[in-house]
Amino acid sequence: MSVENPNVERVPGVADRPLLNDVGILALVPDKWSPRWMVRHHIMARLGRYFQMVWVNPAHHWRESFKSAAAAPQQSDADQYPGFAEYTPERWLPDFYGPAWLSKFMLRQRLLSASRILRDRGCRKIILYFWRPEFEPVLQMIPFDLSCYHLEDEYSFSRVERPMDPVEARLLSEVDQVFILSPALFEKKGKLNTHTLYLPGAVDFAAYSQPLSEPTDLAAIPHPRIGYVGSLKWQIDWNLLLKLTREHSEWSFVLVGPPSPHPEIDAALNELRGRRNVHFLGGKPSA
């Protein structure tokens, strides 16, 4: 049995179905539903209070899909949230990297299967909710009533400023509504669509303000503590961390999160792991 996620509270009286039961959302996301929540997980789970919601997991590559022994399904907590469901593509609808016509055909079949879940639940209107620009072709693939693009990052992931991706520019201009997380992204990309809203980040006050017992792996670490939660990635100022941890042995540095596949930080990570005042607690579920 899965544990109730404190990040999403139940709404009294609507525990079993969303408020607008005849409106469905297809969440077009780059990753599988997981216990490590990003912005898209928080928003989609909460929208499940109001609309029927299907989180469309990425398909397996065809080589994995046709292996003789199928992988055991992972436990999911998606069914805890009103109106929320995961769609994991059927084994006969895998991802093909080429030819392009086959890849698009299979993607369309997967989207039709996901839409069918919403239609079977009584949805008369379908909203496409885009979380990455590479889904732009979906606008021409299946019928829908409204489209949204939620822009929360610079998806080129480039270390230098680059011109806007033409695929993303098309998506920004074609959807019915754009949400942008940061002022810098709003300034750079907010002019392509008149229906663009700057939607800054927020915090679940109820979840973060309630008193909880201290985690056991944290309790033994002495104070004062300096903490970081998130992926261990190249964007962190590792030189500063190396300097501070070397000069202040009386401070405890606590890093909560998995390492990213960035070889350029390996040397810094290895050096920090050898210091007694640096504590790596690994990745944690958002709950």
Q: Judging by DSSP bridges, how do beta strands 125-130 and 196-198 pair with one another?
A: unpaired
pLDDT tens digit string along 221-250?
A: 999 999 999 899 998 999 999 999 999 999
Position 96 scores a pLDDT of 84
pLDDT mean across residues, the chain:
86
Residue 271 has pLDDT above 90, yes or no: yes
Task: Write down the domain spans for the chain.
Answer: 20-198, 213-282
Residue 186 has pLDDT above 90, yes or no: yes
Residue 12 has pLDDT above 80, yes or no: no
Q: Among residues 2, 22, 17, 69, which one has the least CA distance to residue 48?
A: 17
pLDDT above 70 coverage of the chain, percent: 87
Position 78 scores a pLDDT of 57
Quick one: average pLDDT of 13-22?
A: 68
Q: Cβ distance 86 to 59 under 8 Å?
A: no
Residue 8 has pLDDT above 50, yes or no: no
Preceding peptide of 163 cis, ω within 30°: no
pLDDT tens digit string along 67-84?
A: 654 444 455 555 567 788
Q: Cβ distance 34 to 5 under 8 Å?
A: no
- Listing DSSP states for 90-140 in one string gives PTTS-B--SSHHHHHHHHHHHHHHHHHHHHHTT-SEEEEEESSGGGGGGGG
pLDDT tens digit string along 138-152?
A: 999 999 999 999 999
Range name among 86-95, 119-128, 270-279 with the lowest pLDDT average:
86-95
Position 66 scores a pLDDT of 62
Position 285 scores a pLDDT of 83
- Considering the domain 20-198 in this protein, what is its CATH number? 3.40.50
Quick one: average pLDDT of 187-213?
A: 91
- Listing DSSP states for 170-203 in one string gives HHHHHSSEEEE-SHHHHHHHTTS-SSEEE-----
Q: Identify the band that residue 155 occupies on the pLDDT scale cut at 50, 70 and 90.
A: confident
Q: Which of 70-74, 105-109, 174-178 is most confident?
A: 174-178
Position 171 scores a pLDDT of 96
Position 158 scores a pLDDT of 65
Would you say the pTM of this structure is higher than 0.75?
Answer: yes
- 14's tokens: 């609507």
Q: Which residue has the higher pLDDT, 211 or 18?
A: 211
pLDDT tens digit string along 19-70?
A: 888 999 999 999 999 888 889 998 998 888 899 999 999 988 877 766 654 4
Q: Identify the band that residue 116 occupies on the pLDDT scale cut at 50, 70 and 90.
A: very high
Q: Which residue has the higher pLDDT, 156 or 184?
A: 184
Quick one: average pLDDT of 150-156?
A: 86
Q: Which residue has the higher pLDDT, 274 or 160?
A: 274
Position 3 scores a pLDDT of 31
